[in-house]
Structure 1
Amino acid sequence: MITTLAIEGFRSLRHVVLPLARLTVISGANGVGKSSVYRSLRLLAEVGQSGAIAALAREGGLQSLLWAGPESGATAARQFGHPVQGTVRRNSVALKLGYASTGFGYAVDFGLPTDQSTMFARDPEIKAESVFSGAVLRPATALTERHNGAVRVRNSGGEWIPHDYRLRPTESMVAAFADPVAAPELMEVRQNLSSWRFYDHFRTDPQAPVRQPQLGTRTPVLDHSGTDLAAALQTITEFGDRALLDRTIARAFDGASVKVHAQDGLFSLVMVQPGLLRPLEANELSDGTLRFLLLVAALLSPSPPTLLVLNEPETSLHPRLLAPLAELVEAASAHTQIVVVSHASGLVDELEEAGASRIHLEKRDGETSIEGQGMLDEPAWSWPKR
């Protein structure tokens, strides 16, 4: 389980260290930085699949993601009533992401290339990485380190052994360096990162593929697009928690149930509701109904991930669906760690009542912080040195 998430230099997140529980809900007003936390988690997951550089490019490049405020002095300026103003950057450009867990922790430091003669001079490079044991990176807990292209591994005797493998600036040692004998912790971190799942805004418009029959194969994991919803629900029915699936849908829609029809290898979804003379097909369901069914399929996966992140799952949902959704999230958290990012007070309250740990974000002078978190409340954290 992830116990700490650390972000530094990502848009409004100048320095944020969040404690995570088995079930965590991140709340706050629009524009306060919730989406940046969500995207930071996605970027971390991309590191383990060699996709971080491309993901940063899709976000607009490293320069558009960096913290744009002052590097220091903001706290003192506010204390003495002076306006907080940006200054000339003195330190190296850096975007840092990391996490600690009950197993191994990982931290990465992105920066700009030193060679400015190339047309790819705005592409970020990985300057430093570290895999460590315990809750905090320290000299004694570091297990594998990368500085620029050089990798070194700590042996069983505690000595650092330089490795002859040289990493390219855009390669992560987690994704590219494979030595299960010398560095088995890297394999575990890679597997952990690759298992994380993210569900954002599903497409439910009238032309959405999920409303049309789709090829049906056994689907223990709902695709992030939600296109294979019918196959995913049928997989839960045959190999997952069918009782919880039926109970959740019946509670949400006044005794309704869902069925999957198959024809020529194509699966289609229908909903049977009491009082209607015929079932409703997927292309007849409202956006909110279809979105709720997609969330059900994601949360009841027969193959749960180590971490499941839902970004604003309340979108298009009627307020009366928030209670059954919270109940389902609570049930799913028994098998997987869940982070829910939401600004719907109804869902946040329901999750808090279900035992979720709440992190409320606020912003002051352009900088995101955690409400009520003082310096002594922040989890201990340190970054690898370049």
Structure 2
Amino acid sequence: MLTTLAVENYRSLRRMVMPLRGLNVVTGANGTGKSSLYRALRLLADASRNGAVAALAREGGLQSTLWAGPEHVRKDRPVQGTVRTKAVGLRMGFAGDDYGYLMDLGLPIPNGSVFDLDPEIKREALWAGPFLRPAALLVERVNREVRIRSGSGEWQRGGHQLQTFDSMLSEFADPERAPELLTVRDRLRSWRFYDHFRTDADAPARRVQIGTRTPVMAPDGSDVAAALQTIKEIGAKGALNDAVALAFPGSHVEIVNTAGRFEIAFRQHGLLRPLSGAELSDGTLRYLLWVAALLTPRPPELLVLNEPETSLHPDLLPALANLVVIAAKEAQVIVVTHSRPFVASLEALTDDLHTIELVKDHGATTIAGQGPLDEPPWKWPTR
């Protein structure tokens, strides 16, 4: 389980060190940085597949995603530009009870290449324990060079140099000397993100699809029928029927199999025939998508949900909150939401909810009520 998430200089996240628990809700008004936090988590996950640089490019490049305010903020003076004293850097990292990892991205030294605006990975570090200290370092990367700490405590060269745009998580593998690196990489790759399911007339979730066993629903929900049938067969007994009945009393879901093609059949009290996926209302289909995502028979280490309450009627929020609480029994969960009724529904179901409210202070995202002494221990290494 992650205990700390740290981000520096990413959009409005000028400097944030956030404590995490099993079930976390990140809330706040529009524009306080919730989406930036969600994207930062996705960037960390992308690093495990060597996709962090490409993900930044899709957002407009490193310069478009960097903190846009001054390097030093003086609250007793008007905001004004200053001469930069430190190198440009976007830093992201996390820590748990067993391992921690961080990445520091910066700009290259111009050399006339057309790729001079591509970010470079300047520093990566993997350590044992909840916070970084020299004695806890296991593997580190400085510019292109990787080195590994041996069992005797001596540092050894990794054996080859990385490209400036390649992460050691994805491009360096040494199961004998650095098995911890492979462990952390696999963990990051298991992180699961769900964000704004489509429910329009042409949405993938409304189409009839070839069905195979699907313990993990696709991010776009295109295999929702197969995912629901998989939950029926190998998931928690009765969980699917209970989730549907809680939201829509007297209703249940069946999956119609026609020559291997799966389709949702939603049986509702008072109707003579079931409704197909193409006929369902946007809210009903969206709820069934969340059922398929949260009752997964193969839970991830970390499940991140971005505004799951979107387009749902307030009457469905308690049922959705119940799904989130069930999911948190098997996985660490981070929910990003601005809906106070949804947060209240979660609070009514569990005493273990960790609520993090984001606010803006001079343009920078901060955690409400968190002072410097309230932060988890965290230190960024020098380049």
Structure 1 position 242, deviation (Å):
3.7
Structure 1 position 219, deviation (Å):
0.4
Secondary structure of the corresponding residue to residue 130 of structure 2: coil
Mean Cα deviation higher: 365-374 or 241-250: 241-250
Match of 2:363 in 1: 366
Structure 1 position 280, deviation (Å):
0.9
1:254 pairs with 2:242: no
Counterpart-to-counterpart distance in 2, 1:85 and 1:356: 40
* 8 A contact 1:107–1:384 mirrored in 2: no
* 8 A contact 2:204–2:220 mirrored in 1: no
Match of 1:9 in 2: 9
Counterpart-to-counterpart distance in 1, 2:248 and 2:273: 16
Match of 2:199 in 1: 204
Structure 1 position 102, deviation (Å):
2.2
- Write out aligned runs for 1:264-275 (5 A): 264-275=259-270
- Write out aligned runs for 1:159-170 (5 A): 159-170=154-165
Counterpart-to-counterpart distance in 2, 1:272 and 1:116: 65
Aligned-residue CA RMSD (Å): 1.0
* 8 A contact 1:133–1:143 mirrored in 2: yes
Secondary structure of the corresponding residue to residue 44 of structure 1: helix
Match of 1:357 in 2: 354
- Write out aligned runs for 1:144-155 (5 A): 144-155=139-150
Question: How big is each residue's C-alpha offset from its partner over 1:21-53, in whole Å with a ceiling of 9 and x where there is no partner?
Answer: 100000000111000000000000000011111
Secondary structure of the corresponding residue to residue 165 of structure 1: coil
Secondary structure of the corresponding residue to residue 344 of structure 2: helix
From 199, 218, 221, the equivalent of 2:213 is 218
Secondary structure of the corresponding residue to residue 135 of structure 2: coil
From 118, 122, 128, the equivalent of 1:123 is 118
Structure 1 position 118, deviation (Å):
0.6
Question: How big is each residue's C-alpha offset from its partner over 1:106-151, in whole Å with a ceiling of 9 and x where there is no partner?
Answer: 0000011113411111111100000011111110111100000001
Secondary structure of the corresponding residue to residue 188 of structure 1: helix
Structure 1 position 277, deviation (Å):
1.2
Secondary structure of the corresponding residue to residue 136 of structure 1: coil
Unaligned 5+ runs, structure 2: none
Counterpart-to-counterpart distance in 2, 1:231 and 1:171: 36
AA partner of residue 92 (structure 1) = A
Secondary structure of the corresponding residue to residue 266 of structure 2: strand
Match of 2:45 in 1: 45
- Aligned residue pairs, count: 381
Match of 1:293 in 2: 288
Mean Cα deviation higher: 107-116 or 43-52: 107-116
* 8 A contact 2:214–2:230 mirrored in 1: yes
Counterpart-to-counterpart distance in 2, 1:343 and 1:295: 18
Match of 1:346 in 2: 341
Structure 1 position 68, deviation (Å):
1.1
Structure 1 position 293, deviation (Å):
0.7
From 298, 305, 325, the equivalent of 1:303 is 298
Structure 1 position 275, deviation (Å):
1.0
Match of 2:88 in 1: 93
Structure 1 position 165, deviation (Å):
1.4
Counterpart-to-counterpart distance in 2, 1:282 and 1:156: 57
Counterpart-to-counterpart distance in 2, 1:300 and 1:36: 27
Counterpart-to-counterpart distance in 1, 2:81 and 2:193: 34
* 8 A contact 1:109–1:384 mirrored in 2: no
Structure 1 position 186, deviation (Å):
0.4
Instruction: Name the % identity.
Output: 55
TM-score (norm 2): 0.98
Match of 1:29 in 2: 29
Secondary structure of the corresponding residue to residue 259 of structure 1: strand
Structure 1 position 87, deviation (Å):
2.4
Structure 1 position 159, deviation (Å):
1.5
Match of 1:243 in 2: 238
Unaligned 5+ runs, structure 1: none
Secondary structure of the corresponding residue to residue 316 of structure 1: coil
* 8 A contact 1:38–1:341 mirrored in 2: yes
Counterpart-to-counterpart distance in 2, 1:57 and 1:211: 32
Structure 1 position 348, deviation (Å):
1.2
Structure 1 position 230, deviation (Å):
0.1
Secondary structure of the corresponding residue to residue 164 of structure 1: coil
Counterpart-to-counterpart distance in 1, 2:86 and 2:106: 11
AA partner of residue 41 (structure 2) = L
Structure 1 position 255, deviation (Å):
2.1
Give runs of ≥4 in structure 1 deviating > 3 Å: none
Question: How big is each residue's C-alpha offset from its partner over 1:227-286, in whole Å with a ceiling of 9 and x where there is no partner?
Answer: 100000000000111412111110101221111001121100011011111111111111
AA partner of residue 372 (structure 1) = G
* 8 A contact 2:10–2:36 mirrored in 1: yes
